[in-house]
A and B are shown apart, each in its own frame.
Chain A
Amino acid sequence: MLLVVTYSRAARTTLRNVCRAHESTVTRALGRAALFEETELGAFLALRLRAKHGGDVQVERTEPFNEFETVSEGVREAAEAYEDRETPSTPYAKFAAGTDHPDPEAMRDADL
């Protein structure tokens, strides 16, 4: 999909108007950002916004996130386990220390 993020009040207003007028192309409107369908019309709308508001409009192309394809099992399990922790106040670094769960610093440097 196309992620459109706005960085000024004027650009945000135009984005809202576009979202209202093109519901079938706008997958999700999120206030100052929106997800457009990855179609020529979606691209057209994004480019129109950028033509009008220049640097106040950021357009990125997104991909669906499939953790089973791109994320190692260790990271997935760590996320589940951490959300299941007994003491809610435990920070993750402490939670992971001395276990098989990955270290946050190691995860920071590991690209997907």
Chain B
Amino acid sequence: MSEPLRVHVGERTHAGHAVDLCGDDVAAAAVVRAVRAERADSSVRVDCPTPGDAHAHVARLPPETFDRRAALAAAARALGHTSSSQSALADAQAELASLSPPAVDIEAARRRVAEAGAEEVRLRERVAELRGRLQARQEVGAETTAVEAQLREATSELAERETERIAAEQALDQAEAAARAARDDRDRRLELEDRVANLERQVRHDLASAVWPTFRSAVDAVPGTATTGDSPGSYDGPQSTAALAVARLAPLDAPVVVTEQAGVDHEQAATTLGAPVIYVG
């Protein structure tokens, strides 16, 4: 074990590999933050090595949430295990990070087509109506100059709108072609995302397999009832037991914060877990 741990609560200082804070009325969460050196203004201060990735999973026992596979993988890594898929994963992640598929933005083009089309329909109706009115006036021999002028204006506006609608449709076609190319890139990105996810699973599985026998004996050594099978990942029991077992197998320099709910006696906690312990009761 490394150098003894020092915990400062207000004016008091505790030292040792298993520090009991039951009499100090401090919250587990505050101590966990102090271990992570997250909040300097707290009344609790812990002098200890910087916690590693495995510690993050078992900083508090029992943990509030626990991802067994991720915790096992982190513990395996801390023990020096690797996966043969690690470099493929790093490559895929790097390639994924380097991708920046172009934007697919054809909303403006769609809106322009819709608006141009609606305006054209309105004008077409207006022209038909004016033609009807002109014809009716001609039949009764009424004055037609005003209607003729309106019709000329509407007809010319309609022609403009037709041109605009055609231009809008062409612009939409072009935008759609560009969107297709952008979607090809996004397809490639999705394939890579899936590849990264599969490789991450594979790496986690390899790492969990590497420590599975150790994990099984750790489960037997810690308090709690859980059953494990031969194949990595086959675990049936409470997550608190799995967390205790991971804490036991992981090489932890920073202290874990143990509460009463962990079901482990504060004097035995450090021995059982093989790690520095702060017991908060």
Contact = CB atoms under 8 A, between A and B. Distances in A.
A32 interface: yes
5 contacts: A8-B189, A9-B197, A55-B103, A55-B104, A55-B179
Contacts of A54: 103-104
Contacts of B183: 7, 55, 58
Contacts of B182: 55
Interface of A: 7-9, 12, 32, 54-56, 58
A56 B186 contact: yes
Interface of B: 101, 103-105, 179, 182-183, 186-187, 189-190, 193-194, 197
A9 B191 CA distance: 9
Given A9-B197, A55-B182, A58-B183, A32 B190 contact: yes
- Give the most central of B103, B189, B190: most A CB within 10 Å: B190
Nearest to A10: B193
Contacts of A9: 190, 193-194, 197
Given A55-B103, A55-B104, A8 B197 contact: no
A8 B189 CA distance: 7
A77 B130 CA distance: 52
Given A55-B182, A56-B186, A8 B193 contact: yes
B175 to A, nearest CB: 12
Nearest to B106: A55
A54 B179 CA distance: 12
Given A55-B182, A58-B183, A7 B105 contact: no
A7 B103 contact: no
A7 B197 contact: no
Please list the 9 inter-chain residue pairs (A to B) with the smallest Cβ-Cβ separation, ordered nearest first.
Answer: A55-B104, A7-B186, A9-B193, A7-B190, A55-B103, A8-B190, A7-B183, A56-B186, A7-B187
A111 to B, nearest CB: 14
Nearest to A7: B186
A56 B179 CA distance: 11
A103 to B, nearest CB: 26
